Amino acid sequence: MNTMELLKDKLKETGFKITPQRRAIVEILIKNTDKHLSSEEIYDLVRVDCPEIGLATVYRTMQLLDDVGVISKLNLDDGCIRYEICLDKEDSHNHHHLICKSCSKIIEVKEDLLDSIERQIQETYKFEIIDHDLKFYGLCEDCSK
């Protein structure tokens, strides 16, 4: 199954109705999975095929998608919330983000890499880790040349 089908299944389970406008938004999200778009950026991209859409619809749809748990929010402390599709929230830990201080590029670290830290925390603090949100700030390869 591709991402769109998986997502549609998940949305159907939760009773989320896919209207043409919502579908256009979801398609933009799927096409730009690694871009971490803000609502405003999503709006600009959706408007190309769907000129009648309003920014309020984008905001509302993102809120709904967040409520049903198919996207995750990324806050880079730059005043805008970015989104990415995240279909298996329950059993997968969030990937990490590398944020370039110079060009603002966001790079994804697919590996968790925290197994030994997580094990140590669970043993020492008797704390069951469900997820984590880890951002590294620095310079990307291009900017550090």
Long-range pairs, 126-133, Cβ under 8 A, ≥24? 131/89, 131/93, 131/94, 132/93, 132/94, 133/94
Q: Which residues contact residue 49 at a Cβ distance below 8 angstroms, ignoring those fewer than 6 apart?
A: 24
DSSP-assigned letters across all residues of 76-95: -SSS-EEEEE-S-TTT-PPP
Q: Does 112 bind Zn ion (CB under 5 A)?
A: yes
> Which range binds Zn ion by CB under 5 A, 21-29, 46-54, 57-65, 88-96?
88-96
Kindly state whether residue 23 participates in binding Zn ion, applying the rule CB under 5 A: no
Is 75 within 8 Å of 81 (Cβ atoms)? yes
Count of chain residues binding Zn ion (CB under 5 A): 11
CB of residue 28 vs Zn ion: minimum separation in angstroms? Answer: 16
Cα(134)–Cα(95) distance, integer angstroms? 8
**Cβ of residue 17: shortest distance to Zn ion, in angstroms?**
27
Neighbours of 29 (CB within 10 A): 25
We find the least distance from the C-beta atom of residue 123 to Zn ion, in angstroms, to be 15
Contact segment (CB under 5 A) with Zn ion among 3-11, 25-33, 54-62, 99-107 equals 99-107
Determine which residue in the list 103, 127, 136, 137 makes contact with Zn ion, applying CB under 5 A: 103
Q: Which is nearer to Zn ion, 55 or 66 (CB)?
A: 66
Smallest distance from the beta carbon of 110 to Zn ion, in angstroms? 9
Q: Judge contact between 61 and 25, C-beta under 8 A.
A: yes
List interacting residues with Zn ion (CB under 5 A). 84, 93, 100, 102-103, 105, 108, 112, 114, 140, 143
